[in-house]
Structure 1
């Protein structure tokens, strides 16, 4: 039976790359976009022979998350993966406006976890639930500082994922936090050493290699453990 992945935040960059890779691997893919504008995901759907379905979703809206769950209730998922992040500027924490800090935290930490809590009933008992994290969320690896709000949001995401894992300790889902590496995207910047094509095949391979292994892991795109 063909496996199915739901990728939250698949309209561009890493999310679009992940949707492309899972189609290449023979999966059916459901990808979400925020608005009604045409995106690269729509172009991908046109060439997918019906294996890619597009759903509209603003992940920050609990009502939209619940509506998506209801629409997909008859489509069991082998993989639920949330890809979402904003940076909004590199400021020392004392200079970060409250509204900026709130937006970064809501987008990067709170909303991905709400998505997992809302959509987890769709995942098969031995399926995988993952979130795109970052090595910048690692406390022990932070020796240079910078990107204070972004780092804090990814650390918060990692901590909330550990809370999630503890709450559902009896579940058999594979739980993953994935660091894609420093990638050339709008967020990563042009100076990043990796392209999407360098990173994403490794991300998918790492996710798939862990399938069927219950519990939480923090891994990078090469399958290596990232220190907390």
Structure 2
């Protein structure tokens, strides 16, 4: 394993679930990690308190432009080797005909627009050769959409992937690695208690992929084993 003791990571959306475990895993591997949560306290803060300064907590509501700007100002001068955005909500398994306009907008803003706005606001903190990554899902794969259900969630992740593709095209020459990560089907509030994976099982694998792909040019859509997910 490469030495990560002087490397910094920022994980957006780490109050619980996958983001929390990923922040903890990166810290365990020796990185200095900044992790965000919408509310103070909780399990993330407890882990930070026990980390001997290697895990630091910042407050952020990712859908707020003002809070993003304030976070960018607080992090001025920080050099990141990894910026990882983890944000998603699910408003149930409804056919599109039963989804209100307000719910459609809420899910699209949270799952697609806000992660890309976060990358735009913070990308200049990522060093050349560093990585900008977003937690996506194979549910956003148009090619793999062969089963009914969860239409809005699938659409939001497909939109996220498309926006990330545009982002990667716009910044093709910035020297940063760009990744969309499918973390597998996990036992989270989104994945449900019957999912085959726990975050403690999947996030070390995701961290392996992040390390293995560091410095690789272009955008890739990969699963937790480093395999390509079809667009």
Provide the TM-score with structure 2 as the length reference: 0.97
Counterpart position of 2:90: 87
C-alpha root-mean-square deviation of aligned residues, in Å? 0.8
SS at match of 1:217: strand
SS at match of 1:103: helix
Give the unaligned 5+ runs of structure 1.
none
- Structure 1 residue 55 corresponds to structure 2 residue 49: no
Find the aligned partners of 1:103 and 1:39 in 2 and give their Cα distance.
25
Give the unaligned 5+ runs of structure 2.
none
Counterpart position of 2:28: 24
Aligned residue runs from structure 1 range 146-157, under 5 A: 146-157=149-160
Residue 15 of structure 1, aligned match among 8, 14, 19: 19
Find the aligned partners of 1:170 and 1:212 in 2 and give their Cα distance.
13
- Structure 1 residue 224 corresponds to structure 2 residue 227: yes
- Structure 1 residue 5 corresponds to structure 2 residue 5: no
CA positional deviation for 1:210: 0.4
Q: Deviations over 1:142-173 (max 9, x none)?
A: 11021010000000000000000111111110
What is the number of residues matched between the two proteins?
Answer: 227
CA positional deviation for 1:46: 1.4
Counterpart position of 2:136: 133
Counterpart position of 2:77: 74
- Structure 1 residue 187 corresponds to structure 2 residue 155: no
Find the aligned partners of 2:198 and 2:39 in 1 and give their Cα distance.
26
Find the aligned partners of 2:141 and 2:107 in 1 and give their Cα distance.
17
Aligned structure 1 segments of 4 or more residues deviating by more than 4 angstroms? none
Find the aligned partners of 1:99 and 1:136 in 2 and give their Cα distance.
22
Find the aligned partners of 1:160 and 1:134 in 2 and give their Cα distance.
14
